[in-house]
Amino acid sequence: MRLKGLTLGLAAAVAATGIAAPAVQAADSQYFPLLTYRTGPYAPNGIPFANGTIDYFNYVNLKHGGVNGVKLVWEECETAYNTKKGVECFERLKGKGATVVYPNSTGITYKLIPNAPKDKVVILSSGYGRTDASDGRVFPWVFTAPTTYWSQASAFIKYIGAQEGGMDKLKGKKIALIYHNSAYGKEPIRTLNLLARKLGYKLTTLAVNHPGQEQKATWLQIRRDRPDWILLWGWGVMNQVAIKEAINTGFNLERMIGVWWSGAETDVVPSGAAAKGYKAGTFHAAGGDFPLFHDIKKVVYGAGKGFKDGEKYIGQVLWNRGILTGVITTEAMRNAQKKFGVKRVNGDQMRWGFENLNLTESRLAELGLKGFTKGIKITCADHEGNGPVLIQQWDGKKWNIISDFISPMQEVVRPLIEKSAAAYAKANKITPRKC
Amino acid sequence: MGEFWEFVLAPVLIFESWQFGMEVVISGLLAGVMYSLVALGFVLIYKASGMFNFAQGVLVLFAALNLAGFIGLGIPIPLAILLTIGVMILFAIVVEYLILRHLVNQEQIILFMATIGLAFFLSAFGETIWGSDVKKLDVGIPQGRFEPFGIQIQYLELTAGAVAAALVTVLAIFFNKTKIGRALRAVADDHQAALSVGINLRTIWIIVWAVSGIVALVAGTMWGAKSGVQFSLSEIALKALPVLILGGFESIPGAIIGGLIIGLGEKLAEVGWGPYVGGAIEDWFAYILAMVFLVFRPQGLFGEKIIERV
């Protein structure tokens, strides 16, 4: 029996290597408010993600003495994945020198966006949040890199088309979307409907209410409709139950693809080996075989500076995603330091750093992440970057990447983004920037 | 048939394919049994103490967490089950010692609020002891399905039905045929009167909380086998509430019959009407169904009608 939860908080403090967030920020440090969720029903997802980012910050401090000598300091605030708590956390922490925030929830992202220009805090919502916020002309402070839900939905359709032998073979096929009945879950419907009209497949949408512990009626409808493919847009327990139901009803898991928030180790734990064949989207590699990760083990955990029991998360899907968040942030910060010739950067400078980020594959290799993800290039108008998506598959023990990078259907997604962003601008009396 | 009638009759039209119709019926009834397993824990405590135990959902989680945790430590399943039962009994003793004995003869709302506090404590305590990771719970319940006459039935749900039947039989015997059972009912009627005839209230409360804890273990095992053991398991209590409203808060048969009606009703509604209205209607439909019953029979189908003379 382990007093794990009790030690988590202590471990978090230890992991901070004594760099507790100062009341007044020192000139040689950069402060990050971290809205994390280590408690509540979504904690199994929140813990590895938060640990990934913190492990990376910790590593940068220990290995390199910070970013160009500027130590990274951070402060966690527990949101329990609750929008109201998340907003309270941000309001409490933003005045301490915050320049970037990761809302870690689509709901919280939506709430923080309207005030972002006033707060002068960059919102980084990698792979979640508002897809139309990728239009940097309307949302200068929001960054969705490296990809979004709409891009992912179109990439899934491209993948399914390829599996069926060509996009023309999609005509007449039946695709069911099982989605979390929330703003997050509804995000892909618009794109999938548009593509259904264009490509001729039949889309059935099946909503599942939070938390998704009981889905019998949904799977009865799957039994009745017998779709050729299922897309799962779930979160938390909804994923585990859906995968289990798919197994128990005999649906071919090779034809079931989860959103990247339905494709972590924690989602397949209750089914284990029986979930073999289940697929999910992602935008980075799975597994721990990268030089950076080996170095984190040595530098952070080897020195006893990591989370208690935290080493087990290294290489897990959500931990890897947390690492990517840390990498994008520090590279943007480095960018800003170089441009403005400063050590600690302010909100405006950080925003510039993000907007001009060009995280090349050779730079990723320098960081010990060769092949971890595709290069990310952000521009003034496009805050999403390249947006490519990978498909991974559970082999019963671990996730493996089984596809090349799939480029989203930009010709479909980008006009949707621009149209939606323009509507937002009009409704909120925003004059889009010229890029 | 016009579109209007197609919509109205949608739950009936499911039976155009009789195999599919039967699948919906069987799945609905078996899902209802799963709700009943959770509702039974509420009923036991309400029956013996007149207390609505807000912590019952967390109790289900706590029991499942302990069982999954012990199994995760490599303890053989039978021993892990015994250990978990021991934990639940110990928990009942602690609750009586620290909370209940201080609240004898208090208003029901005070008792209710005490269980709210207990729910939050227990949830955090479970997380502290066992961590937040999703845990696989495999106690040997068969997975998969069989398909007689083309009707798909899952082994897990069938097992839950059999377990619920056995549990209800044991509880019915316990309440109606044993001295302790009669004492429990006496306490439920009037604390003071029960005390005056020599019934030890504290012992009764320990027994009823322990039994409720064991029922929670059964419910947690069934639900945990389906979704893994994780903190959202505590929210399953929300599925038991309409069952209680419909079946009555103090009736064990009511919890079962209520569960069956709710399970069947919500599945027919979701599969039939759901596609017409965007889906995800089963949760609120269950409450609507319960409220309809409430209007005509406020004490629930099997609840006792309380007549107070003034």
The residue of chain B with its CA nearest to that of A40 is: B231
CB distance B230–A250 less than 8 Å? Answer: no
For residue range B245-284, list pLDDT tens digits in order: 999 988 888 999 999 999 999 999 999 999 999 899 998 9
**pLDDT tens by residue, A223-281:** 999 999 999 999 999 999 999 999 999 999 999 999 999 999 999 988 889 999 999 99
Put simply, whether A68 touches B (Cβ < 8 Å) is: no
- Output the CA–CA distances (angstroms, integers) from residue A209 to A64, A146, A234, B223, B278, in the order listed: 46, 29, 10, 17, 12
Is the same domain home to A76 and A17? Answer: yes
Report long-range pairs for A124-130 (Cβ below 8 Å, ≥24 apart): A124/A100, A124/A325, A124/A328, A124/A329, A124/A354, A126/A102, A126/A283, A126/A321, A126/A324, A126/A325, A126/A328, A127/A152, A127/A260, A127/A261, A127/A283, A127/A321, A128/A104, A128/A184, A128/A261, A129/A103, A130/A106
User: In angstroms, what separates the C-alpha of A102 from chain B's closest C-alpha?
Assistant: 22
Residues A2/A11, Cβ–Cβ less than 8 Å: no
Confidence tier at B175 by pLDDT (50, 70, 90): confident
User: Does the residue A393 lie in any domain?
Assistant: no
Interface test with chain B among A177, A181, A216, A313, by most B beta carbons within 10 Å: A216
Nearest to B132 among A5, A207, A209 (CB): A5
Half-sphere exposure of B184 (CA within 13 A, CB side): 27
Identity of the residue in A181, A216, A272 whose CB atom sits nearest the CB atom of B267: A216
Tell me: pLDDT of B159 over 90. Answer: yes
What is the rounded distance in angstroms from the CA atom of residue A138 to the CA atom of residue B190? Answer: 67
Q: CB-based contacts of A229: which residues, under 8 Å, 6+ apart?
A: A160, A173, A174, A175, A176, A255, A256, A257
B98 CB contacts (<8 Å, ≥6 apart)? none
Domain assignment present for residue A398? The answer is: no
A205 touches chain B (CB under 8 A): yes
CB contact under 8 A, A217 and B275: no
Which among A1, A39, A240 is the nearest to B134, CB-wise? A240
Q: Is the pLDDT of residue A334 over 90?
A: yes
Same domain, A202 and A93: no
The CB density around residue B235, as the number of other CB atoms within 10 Å, is 18
Tokens of A338: 């170089």
Residue of A nearest to B225 (CA): A270
| Distance between CA atoms of residues A332 and A349, nearest Å | 9
Question: pLDDT category, A25, cuts 50, 70, 90?
Answer: low
Residues A189 and A242 in one domain: yes
Instruction: Look at residue B186 in the predicted model and tell me its pLDDT.
Output: 81
pLDDT grade for A5, boundaries at 50, 70 and 90: very low
User: Looking at residue B306, what is its pLDDT?
Assistant: 64
- Contact between A275 and A242 under an 8 Å Cβ cutoff? The reply is no
Residue-averaged pLDDT of chain B: 91
Bridge partner residues of A75 (DSSP): A33
Q: DSSP assignment of A221-277, as one string? A: HHHHH--SEEEEE--THHHHHHHHHHHHHT--GGGEEE-GGG-SHHHHTTTGGGGTT
- Residue A10: the pLDDT is 41
A47 touches chain B (CB under 8 A): yes
Q: Chain B partners of A211 at a C-beta cutoff of 8 Å?
A: 232, 235
Does A395 map to a domain? no
Helix (H) or strand (E) holding A208: strand A202-208
Query: In this structure, are residues A263 and A281 in contact, taking their beta carbons and an 8 Å threshold?
Result: yes
DSSP B242: H
Same domain, residue pair A26 and A113 = yes
- Residue of chain A whose alpha carbon sits nearest to that of B270: A217
Query: Scanning the structure block, which residue is given the tokens 């994945």?
Result: A81
**Chain A positions in Cβ-Cβ contact with residue B152 (cut-off 8 Å):** 223, 249-250
State what percent of residues in chain A have pLDDT above 90. 89
Does the residue A22 lie in any domain?
Answer: yes
Give the distance, in angstroms, between the CA of residue B168 and the centroid of all CA atoms in the same chain. 12
Domain assignment present for A130:
yes
Q: Shortest CB distance from A249 goes to which of B69, B132, B152?
A: B152
CATH code, domain with A358: 3.40.50.2300
**Closest-CA distance of chain B to residue A392, Å:** 21
Chain A contact set for B283 (CB, 8 A): 209
Backbone angles phi, psi at B232, to 5 degrees: -70, -10
Q: Cα B178 from chain centroid?
A: 23
Candidates A220, A245, A317, partner chain B, best to mutate (most B CBs within 10 A)? A220
A220 to B267: CB separation less than 8 angstroms, yes or no = yes
Q: Are residues A275 and A157 in the same domain?
A: yes
Task: Tell me the sheet residues that pair with A109.
Answer: none
Burial class of residue A69 (count of CB atoms within 10 Å of its CB; 0-12, 13-18, 19+): exposed
Q: Which residues of A touch B223 (CB under 8 A)?
A: 213
Cβ–Cβ of A269/B134 closer than 8 Å? yes
Q: Do the Cβ atoms of A196 and A202 come closer than 8 Å? A: yes
Nearest beta carbon to residue B134 from set A1, A181, A266: A266
Tell me whether residue A376 is in a domain. yes
Q: Which of residues A234, A257, A282 is at a domain's end?
A: A282
The alpha carbons of chain B give a radius of gyration, in whole angstroms, of 20
Find the CB nearest A213 among B24, B143, B235: B235
**Residue at a domain's end among A233, A254, A282:** A282
Q: How many domains does chain A have?
A: 2
Give the alpha-carbon dihedral of A211, A215, A218, A223, to 10 degrees. 150
Q: Say if residue A85 is in the same domain as residue A201.
A: no
A37 plus A50 within the same structural domain: yes
Mutate to test the interface with B, among A214, A244, A269 (most CBs of B within 10 A): A214
Closest chain B CA to residue A246: B144
Domain that holds residue A240: 149-282
pLDDT digits (tens, 9 = 90+) for B74-116: 999 999 999 999 999 999 999 999 998 898 778 889 999 999 9
Q: What's the burial of B166, exposed, middle or buried (CB within 10 Å: 0-12/13-18/19+)?
A: exposed
Interface test with B, best of A248, A265, A397 (most B CBs within 10 A): A248
Quote the radius of gyration of chain A (alpha carbons, Å). Answer: 21
Residue A117 CB partners (closer than 8 Å, separation 6+): A140, A141
Specify whether A361 is located in the same domain as A295. yes
Span A156-175, pLDDT tens digits: 999 999 999 999 999 999 99
ipTM of the complex, rounded to two decimals:
0.90
Segment B106-129 shows an average pLDDT of 92
Last residue of a domain, one of A265, A282, A299: A282
Cis amide prior to A211 (ω within 30 degrees): yes
Residue among B67, B62, B231, B60 at smallest CA distance from A43: B231
Whether residues A19 and A63 share a domain: the answer is: yes
How confident is the model over A70-123, as pLDDT tens digits?
999 999 999 999 999 999 999 999 999 999 999 999 999 999 999 999 999 999
Q: Look at A213 and B236 and tell me if their CB atoms are within 8 Å.
A: yes
Dihedral sign, CA of B177, B182, B183, B184? positive
Inter-chain touch A44–B274, beta carbons under 8 Å = no
- The answer to whether B137 contacts A269, with C-beta atoms less than 8 Å apart, is no
- Pairing of β A390-394 and β A399-401: antiparallel
What whole-number distance in Å separates Cα of residue B84 and Cα of residue A116?
50
Whether residue A234 sits in one domain with residue A122? no
Residue A397 belongs to some domain of the structure: no
Q: Catalogue all structural domains in chain B, each as residue range(s) with its CATH number.
A: 3-143+155-296 (1.10.3470)
Residue B44 clears pLDDT 50, i.e. is over it: yes
Q: What is the pTM of this model?
A: 0.91
Say whether both A118 and A205 belong to one domain.
no
If asked whether residues A163 and A132 sit together in one domain, one would say: no
In this structure, is residue A392 part of a structural domain? no
